[in-house]
Amino acid sequence: MENNEIKENYINEKTGIEYKKVGDYFVPNIILEQKEKVILNKYGRVRLRFLKENKRAEYTVMFMDGTLNNYIKEIQKIVEKKTKSYNKRNYKKRKYNRRIERK
């Protein structure tokens, strides 16, 4: 006689995904990783829009791999650092020019 027991959980040998029985259906037992929330500033939003509109394949790959947030976060840091550096240099030039004008 065959074993007609219905298992509560089983693992698909092809995919390695575990399924659990919920009611009459088997549902994949998948737990998603918690992702860090990134607050986008002006430069992050601009880069994200550029990727979506012009580099669709790169955007999709990064989104699916879960590397998009880290990439956008890194871009924001780089641009903020360069902007601060530029503003400091510009401020010093303006300050120097004001001294010359006063003389």
Write a three-state SS string for the chain: CCCCCCCCEEECCCCCCEEEEECCEEEECCCCCCCCCCCCCHHHHHHHHHHHHHCHHHHHHHHHHCCHHHHHHHHHHHHHHHHHHHHHHHHHHHHHHHHHHHC
12 falls within a domain: no
Question: Residue 43: inside a domain, yes or no?
Answer: yes
Q: Residues 64-96: pLDDT tens digits?
A: 998 999 999 999 999 999 998 888 877 776 766
The total domain count for the chain is 1
* Residue-number span of the structural domain to which 66 is assigned: 33-102
The answer to whether residue 93 is domain-embedded is yes
Report the amino acid identity of residue 15: T
pLDDT 10s digits, 4-37: 556 788 888 888 888 888 888 888 887 777 777 8
> Is 80 among the domain residues?
yes
Give the number of residues written for the chain: 103
